[in-house]
Each structure stands twice: as structure tokens, then as C-alpha cells.
């Protein structure tokens, strides 16, 4: 973008799954304007990935909860994952970039890690902002992104999608190089 531009941001009164369709729509529209061909979506069951495939024609990377969280929250639904993959979605399950093994060890003996401070800082924007950044880091670490191109990363608050960010990606080991270029949607 060479000049100043007015970019609308959807601000939802509250977060949640009921914002998914609007979030995905604004993300797909902005991707078309910017020429972004990769969308990253956080998905627990796989439903958000299926919904993303219905509105976005580019490359979709669905990032699930790490398997160690499935028992506490919920595992991916095999039927939905199969449906998403049939639509061309790539599914990634990996350690959470901001709350992984180091955090578990430190929490077991007490203390706070730098990753937890970062995660809580992103939470000040929204839960979805933290998850969207984390999913972009995870997709980069897995070698799934063209690191020279911006992506749109989408996540939510407890289910569905209510946050969409245009991101210049980075790897976890260079995470301070990640840039949130635009906030397309978020809960208030």
C-alpha cells in the first residue's frame, strides 16, 4: 500500500461464533483487494475451516488446538476435518507457539514466561488476536507460508471467528518481526 487508505474494521458488540460469517466475509473481501492468497483460520472442531472454504478461494491453513488440549477442550471432528480437506484446506496440529512446553514446565514450578507475557499482551486486543498471531507463527514454523507475503489470520473467542488480522508473518524464533498490518474485525 503506497498511500493512506481507509480500511473498515468490523467491531462486534461481543465476541463469539455468531460473528463467524461476517468475519470470514470481510477477510475474503480484503484478501481480494490486497491480493492475499493465504488465509489462516483457527479451528477447534473444523467447522470454521469448512466455513472459510465456502467464502475464500485461496490457500486455507486450518490450525487446530494442540492434541494435548483436546481432552480439556474438544478434539477436531473427523467428519468436519475430512470435509475441510476435501475442499483443499490444509490442517495443522502443532504445539501452541505462545503457550507450549516451556510454559507447562515453568507453571509446574512457578513463574511466568516471556511467551505468557506476550500472549497476555495480545489478549488486551482480543482473545482472537492472540490466537490469530499464534496460528500465524505456528503455520510459519511448519513451513506452510511464503514468508515474503502477507496473510490473513482469523480466530475467535471460545468458538467460531470474530477476529481477522492482516499479518506480515514471522517464525516463532523471530516473532518480534511479525507485523499486524490491519485489524479487519474484532470484538469490542
- Cα(143)–Cα(156) distance, integer angstroms: 24
- Are 32 and 166 in contact by the 8 Å Cβ rule? The answer is no
Q: Which of 176, 170, 65, 171 is nearest to 121 (CA)?
A: 176
Q: What is the pLDDT of residues 61-70, one digit of tens each?
A: 999 987 666 6
- Cα(12)–Cα(1) distance, integer angstroms: 26
Domains of the chain (ranges, CATH numbers): 10-187 (3.40.1380.20)
Q: What is the pLDDT of residues 77-89, one digit of tens each?
A: 899 999 999 999 9
152-156 average pLDDT score: 97
pLDDT bucket at 113, cuts 50 / 70 / 90: confident
Is the confidence at residue 40, as pLDDT, over 80? yes
Q: Evaluate if pTM is beyond 0.85.
A: yes
Amino acid at each position: 500500500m503506497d498511500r493512506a487508505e481507509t480500511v473498515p474494521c468490523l467491531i462486534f458488540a461481543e465476541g463469539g461464533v455468531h460473528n463467524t460469517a461476517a468475519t470470514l466475509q470481510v477477510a475474503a473481501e480484503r484478501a481480494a483487494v490486497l491480493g492475499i492468497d493465504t488465509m489462516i483460520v483457527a479451528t477447534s472442531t473444523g467447522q470454521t475451516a469448512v466455513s472459510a472454504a465456502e467464502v475464500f478461494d485461496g490457500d486455507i491453513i486450518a490450525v487446530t488446538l494442540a492434541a494435548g488440549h483436546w481432552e480439556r477442550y474438544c478434539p477436531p471432528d473427523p467428519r468436519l476435518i475430512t470435509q475441510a480437506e476435501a475442499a483443499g484446506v490444509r490442517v495443522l496440529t502443532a504445539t501452541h507457539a505462545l503457550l507450549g512446553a516451556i510454559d507447562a514446565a515453568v507453571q509446574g514450578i512457578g513463574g511466568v514466561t516471556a511467551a505468557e507475557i506476550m500472549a497476555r499482551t495480545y489478549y488486551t486486543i482480543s482473545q482472537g488476536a492472540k490466537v490469530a498471531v499464534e496460528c500465524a507463527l505456528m503455520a510459519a514454523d511448519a513451513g506452510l507460508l511464503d514468508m515474503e507475503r502477507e496473510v490473513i489470520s482469523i480466530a475467535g473467542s471460545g468458538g467460531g471467528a470474530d477476529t481477522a488480522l492482516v499479518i506480515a508473518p514471522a517464525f516463532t524464533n523471530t516473532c518480534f518481526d511479525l507485523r499486524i498490518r490491519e485489524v479487519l474485525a474484532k470484538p469490542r
